[in-house]
Chain A
């Protein structure tokens, strides 16, 4: 929770006391720092859970094919057809607001992307000759999935997951900004932006007067997304032996 530091409702510029200034009666520096924790929590939990669901659905659809594939992929299509933000808003409205509810909503509407990715990869790898070669060596079916198919399919998924981590935080921030997210006063970048909503256009004749109320939380988000993208890149370099020299 971000403590209320002042009773003036207009934002106050950075000062030695409030390094990033004050918005919505709350210290932005405090919010940016503790908002990182929220970002990590949302990002990691949603990514891990939705990737696991996607992995499960996608590998069943990809490996067993036929009817499984048909049914699971049509369900995926249905979920993908719903605009994400709207769906999350509606779901959050049904479940009630709160960070956990937002995370549930984001998981429910987020598992399709890893599912599709892993299915496509499995379909491709399944036809590779080394899978046939492994079969010809007498490797058991489940070992083929674990040892030969998954290692060749999972890295793109992990990389995608690490990149999604960043974008999910943005989405969570967007939901907070729209008011269905963290409760009032909870340290969250989106909530901070929400406070500055009224001040974004600045004062009369001074468009940039309250710049600090958006720039600092915004910069935190940009850095967060950027660093996860870099992690994704690094993961790819580490995992793919073909890139090793």
Chain B
């Protein structure tokens, strides 16, 4: 395990949104985790569980109807929440950058891809236009775009989805950030391109030694890329652990549910399991454990907020019944075997 200081340390982050009726929506509630240099951490969870909001909070880009109400975000020993907007702008894109889910809508349609990457480069580095262009070409080569000189002059609509995402990655990496936030980077791509993009990200991460926060609900990608996994549900972390812990030894009923809903080739299944029910509306999260009304292990204890329990040195879970569940899941694994 890494013993030096984490480059990013999120403590008790709370992001609340306020709707027109004055209700408080706790989109991210008491989330803490650390990211160390060069490692990949995956934020996993259903849509609307707060993973994207967490990442936007890191860049302080929450919409105006939302607010970071509490917690600390420490990046390289500076508190991001206390920086001025101007200081924050110099961190965005330079030290922390982000890749978005939809490459086709994350690129401005009226500029060529080259213009956009050059804009990103010259924003944070004092270089001439010519120099910036040269770097853009280098970045394009790095992300494996063939014929980079020509591609630079093309508009986003002239590029394929995979090319656009490579372009986005080139743009995000153009200033060699220490931390890359990848918000479902492959969701809108088809499967063959997904694999290429993932491979590309893994190799770039090694070359540039940057940390990656991978936001996804695709556990396949998590298994190939992430070292640590944070499972989120309804704005809270439910389980956190190394890849091995989460996949082989899950302790939270939600994690187990997630793992069961992946189709597997090695097990005969008539029908794919799914987690019953829906993610509760943020204005109506249940008291105590937020998963309890979808959980088969629910009992009267669950009305209280579960505490953080250490399964292992680096494996935490927020559940009253994790021991029982863990036993259960291990037995289940045995049945499968």
Contact = CB atoms under 8 A, between A and B. Distances in A.
A148 B109 CA distance: 9
A130 B107 contact: yes
Interface in B98-129: 98, 100-102, 105-111, 119-120, 123-124
B59 interface: yes
Contacts, number: 69
B105 A137 contact: no
B110 A152 contact: yes
B328 to A, nearest CB: 42
Contacts of B33: none
Interface string A113-152: 0000000000000001110111111111000000110011
Given A139-B119, A241-B155, A244-B155, A133 B109 contact: no
Given A133-B100, A136-B61, A241-B157, A151 B89 contact: no
B105 A129 contact: yes
B175 to A, nearest CB: 9
B155 A148 contact: no
B100 A132 contact: yes
B15 to A, nearest CB: 16
Given A132-B61, A136-B61, A152 B92 contact: no
A136 B96 CA distance: 8
A61 to B, nearest CB: 15
A151 B119 CA distance: 15
Contacts of B91: 138
A129 B98 CA distance: 12
Contacts of B61: 132, 135-136
Contact of B157 (A65, A128, A135, A242): A242
Given A130-B105, A241-B155, A137 B110 contact: no
B172 to A, nearest CB: 8
Interface of A: 65, 128-130, 132-140, 147-148, 151-152, 240-242, 244
Interface of B: 59, 61, 64, 89-94, 97-98, 100-102, 105-111, 119-120, 123-124, 155, 157, 168, 171-172
